[in-house]
């Protein structure tokens, strides 16, 4: 192997990790408050929501699909969970179970359209994205939901956001933010799922070559259905954490999270030379997005520049990934 080929291979495998290290170093030198426990904990807390949604996207991509409806699912769960508490005073167990059921239902509908009716993934999930977003707007009438809010008839809503629910987004466990603990547990469990379980390996087989997986005895339809259901479930968890963190049901709040989650997953393609969706890459992709947004805020960069910078990072990561993959095929 020539020196140029070795250098290209090294950059492909470790470039993303090096970039994360350089970005952290740069912001640490720029502002002494960046590399502190409080700020790093804040970064991890902020990416936990994006990370859960990104895990869901990773599941859909693992079977060679793509779920565009996760952002709308987040918005729906935010509205639904807060409405149950504020409007109907439902117990926390009902709120959580009901929200997860909504996420699973969206995933199941996606899989019905894609697996049974054979609508292409992007078109099916795009349609469901609009349907779920519309339902959320109808539910909230475009308004945010908050404790003891004023209802359309002039009365006050009877309920409040449960303190136990708020603890999920704002509390700490042994000095570590609860969302960070949940995120780490989720990444470990999903890593174990893809690495050591039969279904996880079958998902990756299906994504690699669906026909070969079918000939090997994999029940491809069932595997793809499960991938979309899991995608919806993880998006629902992201919605619950968002509502718990903000303490309100902000209308349409899931739309920006979709873009950040997709960016995290595709940046992860270039981590350790994977060249495909992988849960380790998704984690580091989410970290990179979170570090960038936090550091840019500390530098007082206008918020409207964030999408441009995130897009540039995504383009660079994808360019490195696919240039390398094309060279391998050649």
Classify residue 293 as exposed, middle or buried by CB count within 10 Å of its CB (0-12, 13-18, 19+).
buried
pLDDT by residue (tens digit) across 280-320?
989 988 998 888 888 888 888 887 787 787 778 777 777 76
pLDDT by residue (tens digit) across 58-108?
999 999 999 999 999 999 999 999 999 999 989 999 999 999 999 999 999
pLDDT by residue (tens digit) across 18-70?
888 888 888 888 888 888 888 888 889 989 999 999 999 999 999 999 999 99
Rounded to two decimals, what is the model's pTM?
0.92
Distance CA 81, CA 146 (A): 11
* For the chain, domain boundaries: 14-329
Record: fold of 14-329:
ABC transporter involved in vitamin B12 uptake, BtuC (1.10.3470)
Classify residue 152 as exposed, middle or buried by CB count within 10 Å of its CB (0-12, 13-18, 19+).
exposed
User: Does the pLDDT value for residue 7 go beyond 90?
Assistant: no
Mean pLDDT of 185-194: 96
Q: Is residue 168 within 8 Å of residue 243, measured between CB atoms?
A: no
User: Does the pLDDT value for residue 329 go beyond 90?
Assistant: no
Q: Tell me the H-state helices in 63-177.
A: 70-86, 92-111, 121-140, 163-170
pLDDT band at 4 (very low <50, low <70, confident <90, very high): low
What pLDDT does 208 receive?
Answer: 86
What pLDDT does 274 receive?
Answer: 64
What pLDDT does 3 receive?
Answer: 65
pLDDT band at 13 (very low <50, low <70, confident <90, very high): confident
Bridge partners (DSSP) of residue 145 are: 249
Unique residue bearing structure tokens 């079977």:
63
Query: Closest Cα to residue 271, out of 36, 76, 17?
Result: 17
């Amino acid at each position: 192997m020539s020196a140029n080929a070795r250098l290209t291979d090294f950059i492909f495998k470790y470039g993303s990790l090096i970039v994360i290290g350089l970005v952290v170093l740069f912001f640490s030198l720029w502002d002494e408050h960046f590399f502190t426990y409080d700020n790093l904990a804040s970064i991890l807390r902020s990416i936990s929501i994006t990370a859960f949604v990104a895990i869901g996207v990773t599941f859909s991509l693992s079977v060679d699909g793509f779920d565009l409806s996760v952002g709308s699912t987040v918005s729906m769960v935010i509205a639904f969970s807060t409405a149950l508490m504020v409007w109907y005073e439902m117990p926390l167990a009902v709120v959580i179970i009901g929200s997860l059921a909504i996420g699973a239902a969206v995933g199941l509908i996606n899989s019905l359209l894609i697996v049974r009716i054979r609508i292409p993934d992007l078109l099916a999930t795009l349609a469901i994205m609009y349907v779920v977003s519309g339902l959320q707007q109808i539910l909230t009438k475009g308004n945010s939901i908050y404790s003891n809010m004023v209802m359309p008839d002039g009365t006050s809503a009877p309920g409040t956001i449960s303190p136990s629910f708020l603890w999920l987004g704002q509390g700490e466990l042994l000095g570590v933010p609860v969302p960070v603990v949940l995120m780490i547990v989720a990444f470990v469990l999903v890593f174990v799922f893809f690495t050591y379980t039969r279904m996880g390996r079958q998902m990756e087989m299906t994504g690699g070559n669906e026909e070969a997986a079918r000939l090997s005895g994999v029940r491809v339809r069932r595997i793809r259905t499960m991938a979309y259901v899991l995608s919806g479930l993880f998006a629902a968890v992201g919605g619950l954490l968002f509502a718990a963190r903000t303490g309100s049901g902000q209308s349409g709040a899931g739309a920006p999270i979709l873009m950040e989650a997709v960016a995290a997953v595709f940046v992860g393609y270039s981590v350790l030379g994977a060249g495909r969706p992988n849960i380790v890459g998704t984690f580091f992709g989410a970290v990179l997005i979170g570090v960038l947004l936090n550091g840019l805020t500390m530098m007082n960069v206008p918020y409207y520049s964030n999408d441009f910078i995130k897009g540039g990072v995504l383009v660079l990561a994808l360019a490195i990934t696919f240039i390398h993959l094309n060279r391998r095929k050649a």
